[in-house]
Structure 1
Amino acid sequence: MSTAVADARAGRHRTPVGVDRALLVDTGFVIALAAVATFAAWPIYETPYLFITVGGALVVAAVVTLIGRVRRWNWLLTAVTLAIAYLVLGVPLAVPSAFVSRPDLVQGYHELVVATVTGWRKLITVGTPVGHFQTLLVPMLIVVLVCASAAFALVFTRARVRGYGALVPIMLVPTAFAIVFGTSANGSPLTLATITVAAPRHVLVGLLALVLAGGFLVWRAQHERRLALETAAQASGIRRASGITSGSLRRLAGAVAVVLVGLIVAVPVASTMLVPGPRHVLRTAVNPVPQLSRYVSPLTSYRQAFEPAQYDTPLLSYSGDAAAVGRLRIATMSFYNGQQMTVLSGDSDQQNAFAHIPELTGRQPKAAATLKVTINDYRSLGMPDVWLPTAANLSAIEFHGGDVNALTDGFYFNRELQGGAELYDLGSGDSYTMAVDPPAATEALSSLTPSAGAVQDTAYIPASLTQWVQAQKVGSGGQALTELIQRLRDRGYLSHALVAPPATTPKSKNWLSALGVPGTGTFQASFAGESTDRISDLFSALLRQQQLEGPAAPDKSLVAGVGDDEQFAVASALIAESLGFPARVVLGFVLNPSVTGPSAIPACSGGVCKGQNLTAWIEVKGAGGAWVPIATTPQDKLPLAKKTSTQTEPKFPTQVQPRDATVQPPPEANPTGGTHQNTTHTPDQPAGPAVWLPVFRVGGSILLVVLVLLAPFLSLAVVKWARRSERRRMTDAAARVAAGWDELVDTAVDLGLPPPGVRSRAEAAAVYAAAARAGNPAHMRTLASGADEAVFGAFDPTPGDAERYWAQLDEQRARLTASFPRWKRLRALISLRSFRTRRGGSA
């Protein structure tokens, strides 16, 4: 009788029918929660390759842990094998871009190692969906691989008496990763009867995880109870009644009630708590903007294109649907600070930021027009070559050559500005192909109206500009804007220099000879710059000439403003701003002359854009929200009016001073954390606390990776602590004493000592006392006899007896642990041996 009871307590019985079913359920639960994590991560990636990454991670984790179980590897050897499998299979599972060429394949393994640490930060700095862009699938691979390996380690070791509960927190980590690293958008609301769910996807993810976890725990608890009853029946010979009992019905009803309560509470809470605004995730706390505002404005280098050395120099070549593309945009400048037009303001945010847009650099279906651009002597323009010539309505871009991945890595785009930037060192011979969608039909300029309630910043609009606009008496709106800009062009005179260019030779050309001016006698000097003073002088000259000639004088008598696209584009933008229209200046090339009409700046021809083709225009936005381009180049046929040509310019004009002497962003400017930055300039040195920001960012990324890698081991330590606490808090004193002996056995087994097997408690105590060199064998025998007395004695122990027993137990456990080296004590903390031996199998 006592032997049968002891066998029942120790779990020493033949494997009952149904254990394999539990194995299948555990495995299915791991796969199901991985599927939930994939569903939760879909808004981040939105690529079918995500299924390959997650599925491959599950297969690798299952195979490695199963082999380790069959061959009886320890946890360290299994972890090393898993790391090797990750390094070997990580590229095909998470870095598809590495299969472009053999060098890229070799580079892919290097990027895999780097992405193990830096990929976490890069993931939250790239706009979603990221697709399979670069190495951004690596974090998902790591999370699923590590968590699935820890989960399968529990499943395959059959540690399911108490260890099965650890599967839930372990496999919820990938779902938590998808939520934390996901987007802050809540998605379109879903109305169910009278309840509106603001974030249906997030609610569905939570409900799926809740139902799976709750259902799994209920089924496993029921399964363990059934196994325990079958074991007791085998040991005692007493068969329990079969069929569904009232207790089973109560447990089933309770589980259903818990799920229903969760649904009833979660859906209304989600419908109210998520309505106020977007969720706050890691992505919302990180600014993925390369600090392009630190670069000198490209418009300040405009005139260098008309120097003799660059005027007839091929800057880039193109082939394809040039007529459909129409224009190449180098930079779009939306901000004016009184000194220059800039691409971005000093306090630019994510809405106006350049960022990685993976969907542009992936392989896309062919658009209506394609254009291949090859860089020639683009650097000779003198402007930062970070600005990449692109086209409006860009739908895809594909780089060519040996540095495909590097160029793709360095490409940033701003959808609002329709402009691109390349932080990698762009050199002669680099090429790329753009796919461009047909432009949407835009309103006629004359029919534009300002947006209702729009308030424009007029702080930098010169008073002379306002006076000149008022003197034209053309009213407001799109018709007035059209007339004002046309008058500005007609009454201006094109000049690209302060000093006349040298005389031409058969082998050289200059802009003055191209204008058809017979000699340098009619040359008109023009100061560079686009500062408020320079624009004010331009309108002062126009206003003065109109006052002298009268408002009804013909345009040939009112030509008074001298300058080129640098001044006239800025002046036109300020005119639009004064009328309430948002405006911006675009620097680039015209490929199709029909989009601008006759102009003193010729369009590119013969598939080549030269310095002489560089031009600037403006774009204005009306109430419809579309940007409408307007040519602003002044005319060159009518000379300056006589009364104006005798006047002299100010002796000391305002000169444009670049805000920064350097044009290279600091190291943190590249949100990828990579090394591909423009290396042709000297970076600004951050001052003060900013010096430590990169250290904190890298340190945080490393800490996050370490925590993810250690999560399974920490989970094991937590599970063991919870097991010990549960044993110690048992309400029945006899059960508490018996559980105390089980805790001592588990400690010994985790330290590497043999499980009791067929030994009695007294025999096991002798074995463990011999291993505890610092302990007293008599005390260990006392613990064994105390446990036997609690289980088989005539009288039950009191709660006080149980407390004293646990006090002695803690002392003996401490002495037993102290007898082993520190590394063995650490290994025992995360050992699974006590689970595999079913709590040590005490006799």
Structure 2
Amino acid sequence: MSGVDERTTVRPGRVPAGSAADVDVQGIVPTFVAPWPLPGRSWIDLVVVFVLAALGLLGFGAALSGTGFLLAGLGGLALGMGVGVASHALRLNALLTGLSTVLVFYVFGSALAMPSVATFAILPNLRTLGGISIGAVFGWKDFVTLQTPLSAPAYIMTLPYVAGMLVGVVSAVLAVRWLPRRPQVAVRCAVLLVGPTVLYALGVLLGTQTPFLAAVRGIAFALIALLWLGWRPGAGRGENAAASTTAVLRRKKIIGTAVLAAVAVVVGGGAAVVASPPTDSRFVLREVVTPPFDPLEYPSPLAGFREYTKDLAETKLFTATGLKPGDRIRLAAMDSYDGRLWTVSGPSTATDGSGAFELVGDHLPGPKLITAGSDRRVSIDITGYDDIWVPSVGYPSALTLDGKASERSEDIRYNAESGAAVITSGIGTGDDYEERTTTQAVPSDTALATTPTAAVELPPVTNIPDIVVAKASEFVGTETTPMGQLRAIEQTLRTTGFLSHGLASDSSPSRAGHGADRMSELFTRTPMVGDEEQYASAFALMARSLGYPARVVMGFAPEVTEGQGSVQVVGDDVTAWVEVPFEGYGWVAFSPTPDETEIPQDQDPKPKTEPQPQVRQPPRSDNLDDSLLTEASIDDGDDKDKNDGLVIPEWVWWLALIVGVPVSLYFIPLLAISGAKRRRTKRRRAGSGDRSAAGAWDELIDRYAELGYTVPPAATRSATASMLGAQEPEGATTLTVLAGTTDDVVFSGRDVDDTTADELWQRSEAEASRAQGALGWFARQRSRFRYRAKRSLVSRLQPSGSLARRAARDQRAAGRR
């Protein structure tokens, strides 16, 4: 405020002792001026709450990988408490405290929750702002649906960050603003423990069946909480004890504390060891939540086999570097059959043999059943491939997306039991990635001669044609061991069948599909003709009919020579094989497809037939159920081609979300409050001249209150002007004049014209604008979110202008009489 000595400037809300306003309103205006700095008692409360909340945050360690969650959780907790303390010091209302929390959340969220993605590890960018926004809303869903330990998506640490911040803000506000103003009994002090308790319970519900130091954390939490409630001044009865008994009470407190601590450690620790419930009885949310990715929502990979051999035969799909001779590149493993298609198991039917697709980080979990062969470091550069299934070799242990694909690392889902990975947003031209992988060792038939198949549970197969079951019994012959029977089926299919992809250049037609009708046709037609799709499906169905767990795997088998650097994989390299698990060895591959040989033609001349008149043929009637017929694949075209309108880039939506949410939180309340203020002003300006003049004063007083000045709830206009003038010396004269003029207009009984009222309104608005400009920017912004429309008790009791004029006329008439 210009022209005023800084040493005598009074902040809004404070009244200098001994001033005129202090004399006028002493005992009338009870104001609460929060002490700053905080007293020692409040600091102790904050430290206790911080320690208890930190014990609750440790529970997130059961589900998260590494210790990064401590940085996010404890950082958010400290920031939240800082916002709560600042709210007390600056006297922020609930709205401004909430907006400050949101601002701090976005400013520091990148460094604490997503440091690996943040610019220079601390500065926010569009990706981190979008990530923490998503994590704050959907992070709980990732916690309970993804495979532990969680290291992805990148925003996974946002949940402990935002949970710690919310608990910190609420607990700090209660400790420094609510608790000191209330009788400090134990029940009210216990309210401060609600936040840390909720955080502790959240760590349990979002954790795993294996808790993180449950006994130690539980005993420490209970012991600290009980000791704090017992020792906190004002929380018990000992605070008001006489001085003569202080030493006795203190000695009893110390003895009681020691006994309580010893009992808590001995009894609590013993109970945790002796009476601890079994791990599987622990209730966690992830045990009752279904994983979000469902492969059944996507077409079966095997159903599109012929697309590769016909339409993409010469198309360069991707370039693979690091392969060795004999390596196969897998796409998906299908273990469920319903008479129509081999499919990848959905989350509702996933078993220990098929597993479920989970979001993973840089390091991928390994399968339960494997005999490790040699390691590979393979690089894939996509050139013409477009699907959700990620081409991979063996069982990857790490998968890193490079280039523009790195932005979609949070879309990776992996099935450890089958070694199959997907990118839910799709992988296409221009994407490249690198994987470290381990191949399955290939045991010899001698080693597996007497080895049983592993006890792996797979989803059931249904609607197997009877001829397939009969042929399986026929092909095994006299073999009795699992390997002997499986090799017999494999060799019979390879030696008696012929390979045909159904191309125009093939000497014999071969229908696509692997439904029940196609499987029956494979064995009833002479000669037996098909390609990898049909033979792998038939072999797997035969193995399952004999009780052996088998799955169909689709992928690519390019020609690789020793020492070859890069291999160009084309559609014609597509293949399918079958895997069966053996106890102690892992999944062993079988290839039942015949080599490409000339298909023999029928040499028997067909008898000549007399030409018959052409007649309309009746519809074909088959005994097979229509639900078992192979589906025809219909290409509906690319959905993008159907949208002729403007396609908005994804980053625009993210930018709108990141910017729009904070802007909406700021401007929507601001517009609502501004509208209410305009209606208040319009209402006060309406009516007769004396009413409008009184409304100008009321508007000015409300504007002062909204700026943060202390306004007496029940005082005359002169007393109000004196008190406000003490807080704002520059406006003292103007306020006194306006108060006197308003009193004269309201109580004189004269008719007040609109010109006089408008002049009072202009002077009051000018004074309100001047007072607002004298404050700092932050104080002015706070005033925009404040709304005061209550008239003081004195103004309510003052007669209106018409009543005042009527009273004056009555007095003049009485004088004449």
Shorter-chain TM band: 0.5 to 0.7
1:40 positional shift: 0.7
Cα pair 1:662 1:682 within 8 Å, conserved: no
Which residue, out of 373, 376, 385, partners 1:378? 385
Shift of 1:661: 6.7
Matched to 1:298, the amino acid is P
Contact 1:620 1:628 in 2 (8 A): yes
Equivalent-residue separation in structure 2 for 1:27 and 1:93 (angstroms):
21
> C-alpha distance in 1, partners of 2:413/2:582?
27
Q: Is the 8 A contact 1:154 1:164 kept in 2?
A: no
Does structure 1 residue 82 correspond to structure 2 residue 94? no
Matching of residues 620-659 of structure 1 within 5 Å: 620-624=580-584, 626-637=586-597, 639-640=599-600, 657-658=630-631
The equivalent residue for 2:716 is none
User: Can you list the C-alpha shifts for 1:325-366, whole angstroms capped at 9, x where unaligned?
Assistant: 92211121111111221122594348633221235479xxxx
- How much does 1:178 deviate? 1.1
Give per-residue Cα distances to partners, 1:639-690, cap 9 Å, x unaligned: 438679999xxx99999543997999xxxxxxxxxxxxx976999xxxxxxx
Q: Give the CA deviation at 1:426.
A: 2.7
1:609 to 539, 544, 569: 569
Q: CA contact under 8 A between 2:215 and 2:269: conserved in structure 1? A: no
TM-score by length of 2: 0.63
Aligned partner (choices 114, 128, 137) of residue 95 of structure 1 = 114
**Identity over aligned pairs, percent:** 24
Q: Is the 8 A contact 1:587 1:615 kept in 2?
A: yes
Distance 1:644 1:258 in 2: 98
1:818-839 Cα deviation digits (max 9, x unpaired)? xxxx9999xxxxxxxxxxxxxx
Given candidates 137, 159, 162, the residue that maps to 1:142 is: 162
Q: How does 1:167-186 map to 2 (within 5 A)?
A: 167-183=192-208, 185=209
CA distance in 1, matches of 2:149, 2:359: 10
CA RMSD in angstroms comes to 4.5
Structure 1 residues 499-518: aligned runs within 5 Å = 500-501=504-505
Give 2:133's aligned residue. Answer: 113
Alignment of 1:703-782 (within 5 A): none
Q: Does 1:533 align with 2:511?
A: no
Are residue 299 (structure 1) and residue 302 (structure 2) matched?
Answer: yes
Call closer, same or farther: CA 1:335–1:158 in 2, change over 3 Å. closer
Q: 1:215 aligns with which of 198, 216, 227?
A: 227
Alpha-carbon shift at residue 410 of structure 1 (Å): 2.1
Cα distance in structure 2, aligned partners of 1:244 and 1:588 = 79
Alignment of 1:394-543 (within 5 A): 394-405=396-407, 407-439=408-440, 444=445, 446-451=449-454, 459-472=462-475, 473-476=477-480, 477-497=482-502, 500-501=504-505, 523-541=507-525
Specify the code of the residue in structure 1 equivalent to 2:427.
L
Secondary structure in 1 matching 2:435: strand
**How many residues align structurally?**
587
What is the alpha-carbon distance in structure 2 between the residues aligned to residue 527 and residue 247 of structure 1?
91
The corresponding residue for 2:286 is: 283
Residues 680 and 136 (structure 1), Cα distance of their counterparts in 2 relative to 1, 3 Å cut: farther
Match of 2:76 among 42, 57, 60: 57
- Asked if the contact 1:565/1:633 (under 8 Å) is kept, the reply is yes
Alpha-carbon distance, 1:218 to partner: 2.1
Q: Structure 2 CA distance, aligned partners of 1:27 and 1:74? A: 20
Residue 85 of structure 1: how far off its partner (Å): 0.9
**Alignment correspondent of 2:541:** 574
Which residue does the alignment assign to 2:149? Answer: 129
Given the superposition, is the C-alpha separation of residues 680 and 657 from structure 1 closer, same or farther in structure 2, using an over 3 Å criterion?
Answer: farther
Find the residue that maps to 2:554 and give its secondary structure: strand
Residue 316 of structure 1 aligns with an amino acid whose one-letter code is F
Residue-by-residue CA offset, 1:433-483 (whole Å, 9 max, x unaligned):
112135457574545423469899575333333333433423232122113
Distance 1:645 1:577, change over 3 A: farther
Question: How far apart are 1:567 and its partner, in Å?
Answer: 0.7
| CA distance, structure 1, for counterparts of residue 587 and residue 63 of structure 2 | 30
Letter of the 2:489 partner, please give it.
Answer: L
Cα separation, 1, equivalents of 2:44 and 2:444: 63
Please tell me the residue identity of whatever aligns with 2:74. Answer: G
Q: Distance in 2 between matches of 1:682 and 1:40?
A: 49
* Deviation of the 1:180 alpha carbon: 1.7
Residue 355, structure 1, aligned to residue 315, structure 2 = no
Question: How many Å separate the matches in 1 of 2:642 and 2:634?
Answer: 9
- Shift in alpha-carbon separation, 1:46–1:754, aligned structure 2, 3 A: farther
CA distance 1:460–1:662, shift in 2 (3 Å): same
- Aligned equivalents of 1:209 and 1:22: distance in 2? 20
Tell me, in whole angstroms, the C-alpha distance in 2 between the residues paired with 1:65 and 1:244: 34
The aligned residue for residue 38 of structure 1 is 57
Distance 1:566 1:147 in 2: 57
Deviations 1:545-603 (A, max 9, x none): xxxxxxxxxxxxxxx321110111111112222332211111111256599xxxxxxx9
Q: Write the deviation string for residues 117-155 of structure 1: whole angstroms up to 9, x where unpaired.
A: 233333323222222522222221111111112223344
Q: 1:251 to 1:454 in 2, by over 3 A?
A: closer
> Is residue 2:69 matched to residue 1:66?
no
CA distance in 2 between partners of 1:359 and 1:271 (Å): 35
Write the distance in 2 (CA, Å) between the matches of 1:346 and 1:118: 20
**1:220–1:301 distance in 2 versus 1, CA, 3 Å:** same
How many Å separate the matches in 1 of 2:349 and 2:139?
25
Preserved CA contact (<8 Å) 1:447 1:479: no
In 2, distance between residues paired with 1:661 and 1:82? 53
CA shift digits 1:216-268 (9 cap, x unpaired): 22222688656534xx65xxxxx546366674367447735873696279537
Structure 1, unmatched stretches of 5+, are 1-11, 188-198, 234-238, 380-384, 502-511, 513-522, 543-559, 596-602, 665-677, 684-701, 707-751, 756-821, 826-843
Q: Residue 96 and residue 69 in structure 1: after superposition, are their counterparts in 2 closer, same or farther (change >3 A)?
A: same
Change over 3 Å in CA distance of 1:165–1:125 after alignment to 2: same
1:331 aligns to what?
A: 332
Whichever of the two has the greater Rg, that structure is 2
For each residue in 1:499-556, what CA deviation from the matched residue of structure 2 results, as whole angstroms up to 9, or x when unmatched?
Answer: 523xxxxxxxxxx6xxxxxxxxxx12222221223222323347xxxxxxxxxxxxxx
Q: Contact conserved, 2:306 with 2:501, CA < 8 A, in 1?
A: yes
Contact 2:84–2:97 (8 Å) recurs in 1: yes
Q: Give the SS at the match of 1:311.
A: coil
Paired letter, 2:264: V
Rate the CA distance shift 1:302–1:111 in 2: closer, same or farther, 3 A.
Answer: same
TM-score, with normalisation over the residues of structure 1? 0.61
